[in-house]
Structure 1
């Protein structure tokens, strides 16, 4: 009863005494168990290594938390092995493009939709009166619509020397259009865009997107902006090679020719595994925050490391042997755990250059779109069914049915190796692919493969060519052997004089 009569003032005094007692006890424990500063420090056998690479990451995190967000991670004062090589330009492009705005909803292959969307695009050349000379360029993973310099943006594009008057994509003859893909971050709607439903960033509320979803958005642009009913060619490399096939698959009567360079008709488990590691590293960055880092510290460390992993897959071992060998950056200094060999400094700089230039969520979503790419009959039938149901539900006003199933789970039991774990044989899988590709194998196609490519192995381009050949189409296959190019997957960005001539001849034939 006496406790109930204690005043609020007395309660505060008691609480204060308890807190002070605990604080004194904690201090005493620290003195007992922590090494005393007055005691002499034991001399170690060797000095601790320094970690300037980690210091740099911590410094950037502090800068970002202070609002000093720069447009690039690169330190211009660094001596970089990257600058010594023929690297493509992936500069951050936020201006100088046109924007197509669609007020119509777009529905996706694996459920979900966007009520409206925007597509950034740039053009070169002139659309002729017949409107039959339009070539649509599809980009790779991280490229913007800026494939070539133009009056609104005079900076060199990522295919600068491939496009222009009398060049391989001849603007004297063709009207060239390049877009930033849906899901990207260079002007097109993506996870970093705001949802009109709540005016908040989509983040990871953005639906899972596929390559086929991307090209359906591009087609709306081609029809609405240019009033073109049939394009002369659908052309792309890497993920762009996937899109070039997908565009023709979705709209076979609206494409005259197909050019696929270092692409594939379906993603291989090896490529999926490589992209999986990139996503896992990025999502493990605490600042990623499950996709909601906008207006906060961006996951620059995860992005840097993911890009380094990706860069390993873009080039070939022989090219690195020739370019870097086993040379260290500075033989006069002791070896370090931070970037030490020249090839390490190359990867480090590639990650540095990219980590603030591309949206982390776009990176995750576009990588996943590449993994999901598959023109097999069974996959396309399933996706068409899901998309059709989403559209029906939307127009039936059944909004509760429109969201994707986000309750995905990891397997309950750890993976156990099985001798025959595949549900179909390789022969059945290949037959499924050929059945799916019958929609396009009567088209004129040029397929280019690169023997030194480890990300999209050359047999994947041969697989595409064989599917066309099986149907007796007028397709052509061109392969760059190791003695012609050892740049690996990046060959399409570097070896213009090798991939350019067959492309130019094919487009004019």
Structure 2
């Protein structure tokens, strides 16, 4: 039996070793569908550089860092029309085309003149997250202490760490003391809530689409499998692959697993059914069904576009996300201790940006009941329950199941005193695009966002 899929991977490894350029095959099953643009863009952005350290939730710090950003529209004289857009895991700051980069962005038809986020009214800012690989400081950046690439010496980060870096950009570059809205979907929905949680007096409105208030075991398990596949690639080399062959096989397979979670079974049933790519050929163990060729090409397209270590770190940040009172209290204690040590120059040297104790995995059962856990979340999120919040859920989403968005709305409404809490849900009769609905069903996601922003 022939294995052309394995032959292709082996050839790619050899070509990469020889520093050759690789061209992706054109697979019709991918190109024929309404695929979202994740916009792997590494040009056209501006950089904000902080010479001050950022202290991190899990200990450790970055002595300096950069945040890549792009803007659309104009900041008004009152500086009260800024809308901050937060990205999903793999997106760059390029949410929309602009003069320095005319390539369509990942929310191209959502942002612009007269569109759902109207640049005639709002000054729109989008950043690449801390830990990413599209301009912002991440594992592929160089440690200023020794000039070497961080790799897996980079400290573990959280979603709240990301938004504190964004806030420095907003305050220092644009001199804005209160943004009109914090808007995001997927991991961006986490960031949108986290930004308001960290700075409740500096946000007017909050929009969380297909997000959550805390990561749950199901989504954590899915991301765990992706990381394990990636880390098992012999070319990963415990993160120190820079300058050599990247772990493209692990990245390809991790992206295939992720792609399964981004869409829905009903959509694939309608789009691919049980159709094979070529009925004239005998069944094969390599991609054979149309849905297999789709996943194969999706993984192949992504595997060299995104830094493998950034995938590990950013996906781990998603796992760690939790706005429960106990979790945020622990994070504050760790961050404060690190900052105090840095200020006194005790225990931390300029070359030591990683946490003083290695990250440890803990094996065991839950120590609190579901009721206690929910009360913990309710106490934590009460910090923003007085704000105006729009939560949007998608019934066909399997990565962030719709009950997670209902949970956000429920705990906010239970604590609400003066805020305008809205919940909007897209049923399967409207969209079967799953988690990618926020990228593909813009005419269904857009109207409630536009109405909420005012």
Q: TM-score, normalised by structure 1?
A: 0.87
Aligned positions, number: 449
Name the structure 1 match of 2:217: 269
How many angstroms apart in 2 are the aligned matches of 1:92 and 1:381? 36
Q: What corresponds to 1:439 in structure 2?
A: 383
User: SS state of the match for residue 96, structure 1?
Assistant: coil
In the alignment, what sits opposite 1:230?
Answer: 178
4+ long deviations beyond 6 Å = none
Q: CA deviation at 1:399?
A: 4.1
Residue number in structure 1 paired with 2:355: 404
Alignment of 1:84-483 (within 5 A): 84-400=32-348, 403-405=354-356, 407-408=358-359, 421-472=365-416, 473-483=419-429
Unaligned stretches of 5+ residues in structure 2: none
- How far, CA to CA, are the matches of 2:308 and 2:357 in structure 1? 20
Deviation string 1:96-144 (CA, Å, 9 cap, x unpaired) is 0111011110010001111100000000000000000000000000000
For 1:326 and 1:384, how far apart are their aligned partners in 2? 51
- The alpha carbon displacement at 1:387 in A equals 0.3
Q: Which of 272-281 and 468-477 deviates more?
A: 468-477
Distance 1:303 1:83 in 2: 21
Structure 1 alignment gaps of length 5 or more = 1-48
Contact (CA 8 Å) 1:181, 1:188: kept in 2 or not?
yes
1:207–1:404 Cα contact (<8 Å) kept: yes
CA distance in 2 between partners of 1:79 and 1:301 (Å): 18
Q: Residues 371-403 of structure 1, C-alpha deviation per residue, up to 9 Å, x if partnerless?
A: 000000000000000000000001111244864
Distance 2:292 2:39 in 1: 22
Kept in 2, the 8 Å contact 1:82–1:346? The answer is yes
Deviation at 1:471, TM superposition (A): 2.1
Separation (CA, whole Å) in 2 of partners of 1:455 and 1:378: 25
The alignment status of 1:55 with 2:7, answered yes or no, reads: yes
Question: CA offsets per residue over residues 267-291 of structure 1, 9 Å max, x none?
Answer: 0000000000000000000100000
Whether the 8 Å contact between 1:91 and 1:357 is mirrored in structure 2 is no
* Aligned twin of 2:445: 499
Give yes or no for contact 1:80–1:349 (8 Å, CA) kept in 2: no
Deviation (angstroms), 1:89: 1.2
Superposed displacement of residue 69, structure 1: 4.7
Greater Cα radius of gyration, structure 1 or 2: 1
CA contact (8 A) 2:82 2:180 kept: yes
Supply the distance in 2 between the matched residues of 1:409 and 1:209 (Cα, whole angstroms): 14
Cα-to-partner distance string for 1:58-113 (whole Å, 9 max, x where unaligned):
0110011111255xx623xx233111111111233111011101111001000111
1:16-63: CA deviations, max 9, x gaps?
Answer: xxxxxxxxxxxxxxxxxxxxxxxxxxxxxxxxx101100100011001
Hey, what does 2:433 align to over in structure 1?
487
Conservation of the 8 A alpha-carbon contact between 1:90 and 1:142: yes
Q: Point out the more displaced range, 395-404 or 170-179.
A: 395-404
Taking the aligned partners of 1:111 and 1:234, their CA distance within structure 2 comes to: 26
**What is the correspondence of 1:35-46 to structure 2 with a 5 Å cutoff?**
none
Contact conserved, 2:40 with 2:91, CA < 8 A, in 1?
no
Instruction: Give TM-score, length-normalised by structure 2.
Output: 0.97
- Following superposition, the deviation at residue 467 of structure 1 comes to 1.3
Distance across 1 between alignment mates of 2:207 and 2:438? 12
